[in-house]
Structure 1
Amino acid sequence: VFSFGGAAGFALGPISAVAIVGWLGLAGLWVAMIPGGLIGIALWFVAKGRTRVGTGTPPPPPLEVLRKLRGPLGLVFGISVVGSFAQKAVLTFIPIIAHRAGESETAGAVVLSIYLGAQGLGTLASGFLTDRFNRQHLLAAISVLAVPTHVLAFTLAPASPAAIAMAVCAGFLNMALLPPIVVVAQEILPSGTAVSSGIVMGLAWAVGTLAIPVVGGFADAFGPVAATAWSMPLLLLGALFAMQPSLRPYRRAR
């Protein structure tokens, strides 16, 4: 549910930014901060006095976290990294590809919003499946299916109905990786759910972003369509990681 809310907010971002710039210019983008500020203030008053005291369970020692990171936790971390890379590639290069094809900024923003909106649906559907099916098979299948959908989202005519349909499928599959990744990570480190979640989300997403400049270099040399399309098979690493024997103890819901 929290991921769905985040995806919904991300989906509103591109089209809202284009609308604000068209209305107030780049100098008016600060207006986009107002809703977040108001919600933050409201949350302060709503949550005030309602915080719960923790159970007092100490977090896992750093050496245990590192040991798990060399094993099963490192595998789900790797799956999250390649998924993050694919997402950041879409967010970075789809507008560039659309602009080079003569499409407007609005068209590129709409595709991004559709991709990000579909991610919200992917988290909900995958959350349902994660509680009921083999998580290894689920992660592997999503990783494999995400390759052709992302490739087609980059290579089909920008903002065409077919490209938009593939953007929906790609976004859905990309964020469908998140629920099983987070659940497995928390089961690997049951005494450090916050630490494990931070590793497979925040840290993994940051690491995945580091590869975008490399793709940018190839885009300068061979064009953004070729560079992004040829990099998407990296998602297959997610399937390889998912089927490793060390993840078998976590393949079923407990």
Structure 2
Amino acid sequence: MTREDKQSKPEFDTERVVLLSICHFIHDIYSSFLAPLLPFLIEKFALSLTQAGFLSTVMQIPALMNPYIGKLADRISVRYFIIMAPALTAVPMSLLGVAPSYGILLILLFLTGISVSLFHVPAPVLVYRVAGNRTGRAMSFYMTGGELARTLGPLTIISAISLLGFEGFYPVMIVGIIATIVMYFKFKEMPVTLKPKEKTSIRKTWREMRGLLLPLSAIVVVRGFMHACLTAFLPLYIMQQSGNVWLAGIALSIFEGAGVVGILTVGGLSDRFGRKRLLMFCLVVAPCALLLFTVTSGWFQLGILLVTGFSLLSTTPVMLAMIQEYSEDGSSAANGIFMMISFLARSAVVVLVGFVADMLGLEKTYVICGVIGLAGIPFVVRIGSSVKEEEPMEKTF
């Protein structure tokens, strides 16, 4: 993207950025229903824990198709995917309570997984198109919607079950359908087909983007070790260290809450100070804070956890902005490749962290994850030598 292209970009479209963020919030509330519904599903269908765990796996399988969904979105128009996704996710997730069999549950969750990919792969492209030259700020708004949804989704579905019963909560799908209708009227006229005269190729996209995708993928992997130990095992770690049940209960909420603030803040700051600088800052602070977390205790430890959550979880909007800007016109295929790599990395790393914790204990595992996190720093440096000189992430706005 040339300097002239950047200057010709439209102004930050506040209405559409906020609408996309709200739509992300509504969509992800539905996709977060599964975990709080598991106890009810296990009881209704007499499921084993293996069968219950397989439900989540089936929902995530479509993520393997993310590059192909991105390729299709680049050829058609990203708006159609995003407009339909809230309804396509809301309907199957709202029908889980009335599913007559385990097989139908699997079908509903697989359809949900497809819809989740249909939304998350092209949505950052549309955010990029309406962000003007404040891509980082727009990505922060967008990602904040998703983070808040994962926080409030379980409360939403439990409240619905309390009011309507497990087999009667299906009317909650109405909100998702309304979101789709509103999105249709707001985006139906927006020309967002990115390259209508060119056929996109996943292989070609990878060749063109690998200078950025390779280091970012490595960062996702090393960041994944820190993320896995903190999200999957934090309450258990606090319990082992302090024996304080209350402290263990609020620790994860503090971590996630700090992440929401970081996501909302860091993307916008990267517009001003540069993507690479902010990414470097986060990937230096996060592992150092995690290592400090392992040698502290009590309320001071929770303060360190705030810093860790803020710096660790805030890197996603910066990386999404980098991908869209590096692809010049914005690319769903590039975002799909990155999301598939992220999915595979997260899935593998969580298992590996659990294995190490079984072998060495959580305390040593946390230290190891913090040290591995420091390995992300050289990959940030590598981005500087692989990205084009005129790349906007190296500029301030």
For the aligned pair, the TM-score class normalised by the smaller chain equals 0.7 to 0.9
**Cα displacement (A) at 1:202:** 5.3
Decide whether the 8 Å contact of 1:13 with 1:113 is kept in 2.
no
Could you say which structure has the greater relative contact order, defined with CA pairs below 8 angstroms and 6 or more residues apart? 1
Aligned to 2:227: 87
Equivalent of residue 326 in structure 2, options 182, 188, 198: 188
Equivalent of residue 177 in structure 2, options 27, 41, 65: 41
5 Å matches for 1:146-157? 146-157=286-297
Mapped to 1, the partners of 2:285 and 2:307 lie a distance apart of 9
Mapped to 1, the partners of 2:233 and 2:300 lie a distance apart of 18
- CA deviations on 1:191-240 (whole Å, 9 max, x unpaired) are 44322333334531441331122222221122111112212222223221
Mapped to 1, the partners of 2:150 and 2:294 lie a distance apart of 20
Equivalent of residue 51 in structure 1, options 178, 181, 187: 187
Equivalent of residue 221 in structure 1, options 355, 359, 363: 359
Aligned to 1:103: 244
User: What is the root-mean-square deviation in Å for CA atoms of aligned residues?
Assistant: 3.1
Q: Report the 3-state secondary structure (helix = DSSP H, G, I; strand = E; otherwise coil) of the residue aligned with 1:92.
A: helix
- CA deviations on 1:97-134 (whole Å, 9 max, x unpaired) are 13334232x54342111111111111122122211113
Mapped to 1, the partners of 2:174 and 2:244 lie a distance apart of 35
Work out the number of aligned pairs and report it.
242
**Cα displacement (A) at 1:154:** 4.3
Equivalent of residue 61 in structure 1, options 201, 224, 235: 201
**Cα displacement (A) at 1:148:** 1.6
- CA deviations on 1:38-97 (whole Å, 9 max, x unpaired) are 542331343344433544324632222221353222212322333333222211111221
Identity of aligned residues (%): 25
Mapped to 2, the partners of 1:235 and 1:8 lie a distance apart of 25
5 Å matches for 1:171-250? 171-201=309-339, 203-244=341-382, 245-247=385-387, 249=389, 250=391
Structure 1: gaps of 5 or more residues: none
Aligned to 2:268: 128
* TM-score normalised by L of structure 2: 0.54
* TM-score normalised by L of structure 1: 0.80
Structure 2: gaps of 5 or more residues: 1-140
Alpha-carbon spacing, 1:88–1:13, altered in 2? closer, same or farther (3 Å)? farther
Decide whether the 8 Å contact of 1:136 with 1:248 is kept in 2.
no
